[in-house]
Chain A
Amino acid sequence: MLMNLQKAEYILRRLLTSVFVLLGLTVITFFIARVVPSNAAALYIGPKARPEDIERVTKLLGLDKPLPVQYLVYMRDVLKGDWGTSISSKRPVLQEIASRFPATFELLCTAMIIAVATGIVVGVISAQWQGKWLDILVRAASIVGVSVPAFWLGLLLQILFFRNLNILPLSGRVDSDLRFTHPIMVTTGIYLIDAIIHQNWVALKDVCLHMILPALTLAAYPASLIARMTRATMLEVQSQDYIRTARAYGLKESFIVYILALKNAISPTLTVIGLTLAYALTGSFFVEIVFNWPGLGMFTVRSLLNLDYPAIMGITLFGAIGYVLINLLVDIVQTWIDPRISLS
């Protein structure tokens, strides 16, 4: 009971800090968007701005008003969902992001599930076989995994599985023919789920096949990092006194390793998972380009190339919010694993 109160209080505190972090973030994006550029209005319109347009936009954005007022206006707009208008598409930025987010989310989630599952399993096995050939193999593979650039790995996999073996599709989320034969009805925007909801099994298979290469490419780095971390913490935990106690009291070795030690090792690993997720978010941009994946990454690159200022600011804010939320989630899961956390 006391425990739960402490836990609730801790989570509340973390929520509050997250809110403050987000507020801080909006201050930063506000400054980058409105204050840092010498002529924000010109940037906002794009390269072909005429003087009269600039004047109009200056008024429109309230750039003639004092800074605190400008910030409040900016915040009001952000909260209202008005994140500006994309210069290249002339559509609201938030709408552009929302329409592309499911594709990225789907890729990211699949990749992270693969990364976490293989990372932890491989890390535990590697620790159990410490110093044996299996462990050496895993460690070598994980070094390769963290050092190979994602786009290069993506290209390599394409050459191998598309060109040489021809068993997996080259790119995209679905086969173009599928639009006519078995079109996916979009409910969530996440094709794997949509195909299941509407029992479109042909599409599901196609979506899965398209998912494999980009997801593996994206998973390589986080999986390697998680495996290394799991291995290290498993070894560290197993030298602890409480594990010696468990052995001294005759508990089964499998119970000691896979229940006791693993729970102790998962907490530091979880922090790494939070960090790699942030990495994977940026990594997904490269992967999306290599695999022609119609998500936020492609949108970001296009916006960067077009100097689509409002879109870039929107993506920055969106990514930052995602990052804060992920870390909040990781912290909440931590309290659930480690009873000591809410005390510190």
Chain B
Amino acid sequence: MRDPILRIEDLHIEFRTSRGVIHALQGVTFDVMPGEIFGVVGETGCGKTITGLSVLRLLPRSARITQGNIRFEGVDLLKISQREMRSIRGGKISIIFQDPSTSMNPLFTIGFQMNKVIREHLKFSREKARERALTMLAATGLPDVERIYDSYPHQLSGGMLQRAMIALALSCEHSLLIADEPTTALDVTIQSQILQLMRELQQKLGVAMILITHNLGVVANMCDRLVVLYAGRVVEIGESRSIFENPQHPYTRGLMSAIPAPGSRGNRLSAIPGNVPIDPGALKGCVFAPRCAFVMPRCLKESPVMFHLSKDHASTCFLAERGDLF
């Protein structure tokens, strides 16, 4: 078996806020294999973004990784120096954010921003970096790339900007791409185009991709494997097909029944009654118990541990262990 390109092990993240400590991630563990698309799914606030940011060590100042480790290509990312981290950011791992209109600097041209990154990591000359940027822009299906290269972000539409962002994210021979809800802020008509483009390029360039989304429908079409997060914990993990055919956690089932119809926008999984607890660390027992339709007395007292149904499918639900969820 191949080694994973990224291995996150027992990751705990805390936020120190004026209202006390929030345990935002509690023991998240997953592997991402080279060249695969790995989905991270969950409702808003469950910790998807901070999981992605922690890989790049870009967490907000108030956040602290209190436990666990993150290994990328065998290197412990939490131990290396700031300098080494900088060469990995944008050099080996790249990221695409949710809102393309705010993730590019409004006062500099697309070309300037791409050129700078390419020169930083590939050590190209200015001219060669420009060539490279133009090639990448063209690869994302943008027309008239020379004009786009010299454009400022406000002169492009959201879809064009996100394509430019993808071009940037793949411009330096990266081996891992983290896409944090790359289509949520876009017009519904171009969401699927962008996703398709990402998959095409991902396959052509052979990069691994972490696709963060609250939309299980997107994951179903794109991902090889996925993890379902709830309140900062892994509730189910495994091969997409296996999870879709046979979900082994009541939360996953709730998400599946809440898959937004294709084309609808932003519907943040309101089908499961109740809300994500603000500080899940304070709860005893299973974090999902307060919202679970199948709750048992045991769920309120003990925390369920990961139960492996097969080599590549696991769930943290007592029912999955007993094998009578359905």
**B87 within 8 Å of A by Cβ?**
yes
Query: In the complex, which of the residues B86, B152, B154 contacts A250, with contact meaning CB atoms closer than 8 Å?
Result: B86
Q: Which residues of A contact B106 (CB under 8 A)?
A: 242, 264, 338-340
Residue A244, interface by CB 8 Å: yes
Q: Is the CB of B107 within 8 A of A337?
A: yes
Is B91 engaged at the interface, CB distance under 8 Å to the other chain? Answer: yes
A-B contact sample (9 more), CB < 8 A, given A250-B90, A263-B108 = A240-B102, A242-B104, A242-B105, A244-B58, A249-B117, A250-B120, A252-B86, A255-B116, A339-B152
In the assembled complex, B209 has its CB within 8 A of some CB on chain A: no
A246 interface contact, C-beta 8 A: yes
A241 and B103 in contact (CB under 8 A), knowing A248-B89, A249-B90, A251-B117?
yes
Contact across chains for A250 and B58 when beta carbons are under 8 A apart: no
Give, as a whole number of angstroms, the nearest-CB distance from A40 to chain B.
52
B contact set with A: CB distance below 8 Å: 56, 58, 86-91, 94-95, 97, 99, 102-108, 116-117, 120-121, 152, 154, 168
Smallest CB gap from B152: residue in A: A339
Do A251 and B103 touch (CB < 8 A)?
Answer: no
* Cα separation A338 to B121 with both chains bound (whole Å): 28
Q: Bound state CA distance, A246 and B105, in angstroms?
A: 9
Cross-chain pairs A/B with CB under 8 angstroms, 26 sampled: A240-B102, A241-B99, A241-B102, A242-B102, A242-B103, A242-B104, A242-B105, A245-B97, A245-B105, A248-B58, A248-B90, A248-B94, A248-B95, A249-B94, A250-B86, A250-B87, A250-B91, A251-B117, A251-B120, A252-B86, A260-B108, A267-B107, A338-B107, A339-B106, A339-B154, A340-B154
A343 contacts the other chain (CB 8 A): yes
Q: How far is the CA of A255 from the CA of B108 in the complex (A)?
A: 13
> Could you tell me the distance between the alpha carbons of A180 and B111 in the complex, rounded to whole angstroms?
61
User: Is A247 interfacial (CB 8 A cutoff)?
Assistant: yes
Give bound CA distance, A283 to B155, whole Å.
42
A241-B97, A263-B107, A340-B152 as given contacts; A249 in contact with B102, CB under 8 Å:
no
Contacts of A244 in B (CB 8 A): 58, 97, 103
> What is the minimal beta-carbon distance from B144 to any residue of chain A, in angstroms?
13
Complex Cα–Cα for A241 and B91 (A) = 19
Give the size range of A's interface with the partner. 20 to 34
Residues of B within 8 A of A267 (CB): 107
Known contacts A245-B97, A339-B152, A340-B154; decide if A250 and B104 are in contact (CB<8 Å): no
Chain A nearest CB from B25 CB (Å) reads 19
User: Are the C-beta atoms of B97 and A247 separated by less than 8 Å?
Assistant: no
**Is there an interface contact between B89 and A247, defined as CB atoms closer than 8 Å?**
yes
A260 touches which one: B58, B95, B105, B121 (CB < 8 A)? B105
A76 to B155, CA, bound (A): 46
Residue of A242, A249, A252, A339 contacting most chain B CB atoms (<10 Å): A249
User: Which of A242, A249, A263, A339 sits near B89, CB closer than 8 Å?
Assistant: A249
The residue in B87, B107, B116, B152 that gathers the most chain A C-beta atoms within 10 A of its C-beta is B107
CB distance from A327 to the nearest CB of B (A): 21
Give chain B residues whose Cβ lies under 8 Å from the Cβ of A248. 56, 58, 89-90, 94-95
